[in-house]
Structure 1
Amino acid sequence: MSVSRQPGSPHPRLPLPEGQPDDLAAFQQWLSDAIPMVSALGISEMTRHDDSLTWQLALEPNLNDKGTGFGGALSAQTTLQGWCWVTLWLRERGLARDVVVAEASQRFLAPVTNDYRLVCKPTELNGPEQLANKLADRGKGRIALTHQLYCGETLCLEASGNYAVLPSR
């Protein structure tokens, strides 16, 4: 169900999972309601494994004029995926906090010519632990994430993002 709202009006938060993993299908539906462009990005599946978040995506809704992946759409997907990684990580810990992207960059290595997968994980192995410590000590923190986009076995894009968890309101 899509909720109509005006700019500047926040979307209601998804209730935190109580002692169980997030239902990623329900999270994806909430995400599509909260951020209208999500339903047009072609995300067919979200999975989590250890510290990674993987999306399967369709190329068709992200085509450019050359018939390959549109760089702007791919960049938006990496930024959104990082936001989701941090949001889901917080939700696992029973925290409902605001997350924002502080910095992002992309490197395009090969054209995206077919459906693809996008993998997001912490840049540093101890990144999640460092973020947990910063949240405990200061009530806010940042984490660097790395994204890799694969079309088949070909690495087509590498991206990085720095995401901030804001203090509780």
Structure 2
Amino acid sequence: MDEIGFQKLIYDQIPITEKMGLEVIEFKPLSVKILARLKPNLNHKCTAFGGSINSLMTVCGWAAVFINIKEIDPNSHIVIQRSNIEYFLPIDKDFTAECTIEEQAGIEKFLFTYKKYSRARLKLNVFCRDNDKILSKFEGQYVVFR
């Protein structure tokens, strides 16, 4: 599945993503980037609403799990089990969440566990950045099961 196909899938399965103006920029097993438009996600201070930032980052992590598990088991289910987010700076323009998987061994262990037990967990970090400044950091633990 490519970026356009995945964007259509999330619009169909998670309708709020379309309302938020999400656009899938990169959709690869080791790197997922999703952009959100500021205008539909404004708060009363004319910056990005915290709930929108959280939603974008949750979907970005979910997408990273999706691209890694669906080739193994297209019928698997992915849910967020736990998350934590930190907001460092206000976001006053379109913003992008990025989930980069830097340790291939972690994905291999996750997939091995899933194949063996039909259930596995994966903890991922997602960042919103403006050049070299971190705007927000999200840590999510996702569970995949049959």
SS in 2 for 1:111: coil
Instruction: Give the match for residue 142 of structure 1.
Output: 121
- Which residue of 21, 36, 41 corresponds with 2:15? 36
Question: TM-score, normalised on structure 2?
Answer: 0.90
Contact 1:108 1:158 in 2 (8 A): yes
Structure 2 CA distance for partners of 1:162 and 1:124, relative to 1, 3 Å: farther
The superposition leaves residues 16-36 of structure 1 with CA deviations (integer Å, 9 ceiling, x where unpaired) of: xxxxxx122122112111111
Question: TM-score, normalised on structure 1?
Answer: 0.79
Give the Cα–Cα distance (whole angstroms) in 2 for the partners of residues 95 and 105 of structure 1: 28
The superposition leaves residues 79-132 of structure 1 with CA deviations (integer Å, 9 ceiling, x where unpaired) of: 122112111211233532001101011000111011122101347552211101
Q: Unpaired segments of 5 or more residues in structure 1?
A: 1-21
Aligned residues: 146
Letter in 2 for 1:96: N
- 2:32 paired with 1:67: no
- Which residue of 106, 111, 117 corresponds with 2:96? 117
* Equivalent runs, 1:14-93 vs 2, <5 Å: 22-49=1-28, 51-93=30-72
Structure 1 window deviating more from structure 2 (92-101 vs 143-152): it is 92-101
Give the Cα–Cα distance (whole angstroms) in 2 for the partners of residues 44 and 80 of structure 1: 11
Give the Cα–Cα distance (whole angstroms) in 1 for the partners of residues 63 and 48 of structure 2: 21
SS in 1 for 2:143: strand
Instruction: Give the match for residue 96 of structure 1.
Output: 75
Give the Cα–Cα distance (whole angstroms) in 2 for the partners of residues 108 and 48 of structure 1: 24
Higher helix content, 1 or 2? 2
Deviation of residue 57 (structure 1)?
2.2
Higher strand content, 1 or 2? 2
Instruction: Give the match for residue 159 of structure 1.
Output: 138
Give the Cα–Cα distance (whole angstroms) in 1 for the partners of residues 137 and 42 of structure 2: 19
Larger Rg: 1
Letter in 1 for 2:30: D
Aligned Cα RMSD in Å?
1.8
Deviation of residue 155 (structure 1)?
1.3
Q: Unpaired segments of 5 or more residues in structure 2?
A: none
Instruction: Give the match for residue 16 of structure 1.
Output: none
